[in-house]
């Protein structure tokens, strides 16, 4: 095949065949075609879009461009199930959720990413735990999933290598924001992880990748349909990211919040726990580990209240090289930042709105995130006691407590938080904003028969 003919066909809005897509992806993975052609292909898809069968073909071709994990060979006594979030500020759900699902009989091989830009990455949070091997070899990963029920690790070079090259080129050619390409990118990695089922947490709001609910819904619909067509049982929840999730943002600080929530779930911040419970229950019903949503919710409660989820987390940390007493003595292992200052608001009142992306960028500026892939992270820095929408703030209740490496960066973060927060007088509008449900919608498999589905007459 001739790559420029495939690019030209897509440029003109025609539908590519599965064979053309597979050929292009294989050539891309082998680096048999240059970055210019890959970028032109991405831009053609960006403007012309892909049909559902094209997206399925792209996803499957990228998934099979490297190693595909096989959990069947380990004879796990339960389903291999994962959750994937499109990312947000303070999104620490995975650290609480994976052990809950493990305690309920699921096996969670969770392959997570590092943070880039304003969103944090699960892997950076776990790297705050001394000794934790976030990129173990596949044998240790599989052993931990089998023995503990969950393992959260980073992406290995062997999984979906075509996506790694494609994403790197999209990242520098203005072609990331395509629902077709995002769908294939996320799902190729999940299919390569050999899962039985997947639950997506698609976030919307000013701290999310997709700001508008309707765009998040379209992404969720695409992911759910393509995943199910590709043989991966998948559903999605649309969750609100118009404020920081939980009370902390910053790597070690978020780990501490999760350990406290696992050990004493009653103290977990309400929105964080609501999202975590909903996603965990969805994973249990999707896999048949619970027969009904009510039964799933009850199992999740038992896993939390009995301490079983906390115990799974402790075992996961130990199995992957972290301290054996981490859950009991996390304070010993997560050193505090040298400077801690309250971000007192310029005026007292009610939090009416938060520019969440700006809060994420403030954490990044403190050293808690990276501007480029090679940047080092300071795990100690970030925010605690982050005020939520509807809360009263003033001299006695800051917008957050800033944890910084030095006074200058603390002062900059305090100024950034004051810019990011809108403080108002109490009104019906602030009450309504505070009461908005965090889990907004569920997107299940569509009943509609896809056009030209593979094998369809
Ligand atoms: N996350 C991914 O893994 N891929 C994308 O294309 C966008 C977000």
Domains assigned to the chain: 3-63 (1.20.970.10), 72-157+173-330 (3.40.1030.10), 336-435 (3.90.1170.30)
Ligand 1, closest atom to CA 182?
6
Ligand 1, closest atom to CA 178?
6
What's the whole-model pTM score? Answer: 0.94
Nearest CA to ligand 1 atom 1: 186
Instruction: Provide the pairing of β-strand 421-424 with 349-354.
Output: antiparallel
Nearest CA to ligand 1 atom 7: 182
Do 93 and 103 touch, CB atoms closer than 8 A? no
Q: Which of 71-80, 284-293, 320-329 has the lowest mean pLDDT?
A: 71-80
Nearest CA to ligand 1 atom 8: 182
Mean pLDDT calculated for residue range 322-348: 97
Query: What does the pLDDT read at residue 448?
Result: 59
CA dist list (Å): 363 to 94, 128, 369, 379, 401 = 20, 15, 7, 11, 12
Q: 112: pLDDT confidence band, cut at 50, 70 and 90?
A: confident
Question: Quick one: how far is CA 245 from the chain centroid?
Answer: 12
Q: Sort 193 into a burial class: Cβ within 10 Å, 0-12 / 13-18 / 19+.
A: buried
Residue where the block lists tokens 């910053």: 250
pLDDT surpassing 80 at residue 275: yes
- Give φ, ψ of 240 to 5 degrees: -75, 130
pLDDT surpassing 50 at residue 30: yes
**Strands ordered across the beta sheet of 339-342:** 339-342, 401-404, 382-384
Mean pLDDT calculated for residue range 91-111: 97
Mean pLDDT calculated for residue range 271-294: 98
Instruction: Count the Cβ atoms, other than its own, within 10 Å of residue 13.
Output: 10
Higher pLDDT, residue 261 or 73: 261
Average pLDDT over all residues of the chain: 94
pLDDT surpassing 80 at residue 102: yes
Active site residue ranges: 82-85, 122, 170, 185, 189-190
pLDDT surpassing 50 at residue 451: no
Residue 444 Cα to ligand 1 middle (Å) = 21
What is the C-alpha to C-alpha distance for residues 265 and 310, in angstroms, rounded to an integer? 10
Ligand 1, closest atom to CA 176?
6
pLDDT surpassing 70 at residue 323: yes
Cβ neighbors of 42 (< 8 A, separation 6 or more) are 166, 169, 170, 173, 175, 178, 181
Query: What does the pLDDT read at residue 237?
Result: 98
CA dist list (Å): 294 to 50, 97, 248, 284, 299 = 38, 18, 30, 11, 9
Nearest CA to ligand 1 atom 3: 186
Pocket test for ligand 1, best of 88, 160, 186 (most atoms within 8 A of CB): 186
pLDDT surpassing 50 at residue 455: no
Question: pLDDT for 193-245, tens place per residue?
Answer: 999 999 999 999 999 989 999 999 999 999 999 999 999 999 999 999 999 99
Residue 324 Cα to ligand 1 middle (Å) = 34
Ligand 1, closest atom to CA 189?
3
Q: What is the dihedral angle through the alpha carbons of 46, 49, 54, 56, rounded to the nearest 10 degrees?
A: 70
What residues line ligand 1, using a CB cutoff of 6 Å? 167, 176, 181-182, 185-186
Nearest one of 383, 417, 425, 421 to 401, comparing CA atoms: 383
Q: 116: pLDDT confidence band, cut at 50, 70 and 90?
A: low
Nearest CA to ligand 1 atom 6: 182
Structure-token pair, residue 357: 């992306």
Pocket test for ligand 1, best of 170, 182, 219 (most atoms within 8 A of CB): 182
Q: 158: pLDDT confidence band, cut at 50, 70 and 90?
A: confident
Mean pLDDT calculated for residue range 316-321: 98
Q: Which of 117-126, 182-191, 209-218, 260-269 has the lowest mean pLDDT?
A: 117-126
Structure-token pair, residue 102: 């493990």
């Amino acid at each position: 095949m001739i790559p420029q003919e495939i690019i030209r066909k897509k440029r003109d809005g025609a539908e590519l065949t599965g064979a053309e897509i597979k050929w292009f992806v294989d050539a891309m993975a082998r680096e048999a075609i240059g970055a210019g052609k890959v970028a032109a292909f991405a831009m053609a898809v960006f403007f012309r879009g892909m049909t559902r069968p094209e997206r399925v073909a792209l996803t499957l071709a990228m998934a099979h461009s490297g190693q595909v994990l096989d959990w069947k060979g380990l004879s796990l006594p339960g389903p291999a199930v994962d959750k994937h979030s499109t990312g947000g500020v303070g999104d620490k759900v995975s650290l609480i959720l994976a052990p809950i699902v493990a305690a309920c009989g699921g096996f969670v091989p969770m392959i997570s990413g590092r943070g880039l830009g304003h969103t944090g990455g699960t892997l950076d949070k776990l790297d705050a735990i001394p000794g934790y091997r976030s990129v173990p070899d596949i044998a240790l990963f599989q052993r931990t999933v089998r023995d503990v029920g969950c393992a959260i690790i980073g992406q290995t070079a062997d999984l979906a290598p075509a996506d790694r090259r494609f994403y790197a080129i999209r990242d520098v050619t203005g072609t990331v924001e395509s629902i077709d390409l995002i769908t294939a990118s996320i799902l190729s990695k999940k299919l390569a992880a050999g899962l039985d089922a997947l639950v997506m947490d698609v976030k919307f709001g000013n701290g999310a990748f997709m700001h508008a609910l309707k765009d998040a819904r379209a992404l969720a619909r695409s992911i759910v349909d393509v995943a199910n067509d590709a043989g991966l049982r998948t559903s999605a929840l649309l969750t609100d990211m118009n404020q920081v999730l939980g009370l902390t943002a910053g790597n070690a600080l978020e780990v501490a919040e999760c350990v406290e929530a696992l050990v004493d779930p009653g103290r977990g911040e309400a929105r964080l726990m609501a999202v975590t419970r909903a996603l965990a229950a969805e994973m249990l019903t999707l896999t048949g580990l619970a027969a009904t949503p009510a039964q799933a919710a009850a199992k999740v409660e038992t896993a939390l209240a009995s301490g079983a989820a906390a115990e799974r987390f402790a075992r996961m940390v130990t199995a992957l090289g972290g301290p054996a007493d981490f859950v009991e003595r996390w304070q010993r292992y997560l050193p505090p930042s040298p400077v801690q200052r309250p971000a007192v608001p310029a005026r007292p009142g009610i939090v009416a709105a938060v520019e969440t992306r700006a809060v994420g960028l403030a954490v990044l500026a403190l050293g808690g995130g990276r501007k480029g892939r090679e940047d080092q992270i300071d795990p100690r820095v970030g925010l605690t006691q982050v005020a939520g929408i509807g809360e009263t703030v003033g001299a006695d209740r800051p917008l957050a407590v800033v944890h910084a490496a030095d006074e200058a960066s603390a002062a900059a973060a305090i100024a950034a938080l004051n810019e990011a927060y809108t403080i108002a007088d109490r009104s019906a509008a602030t009450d309504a904003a505070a009461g908005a449900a965090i889990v907004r919608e569920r997107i299940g498999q569509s009943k509609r028969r896809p056009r030209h589905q593979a094998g369809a007459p």
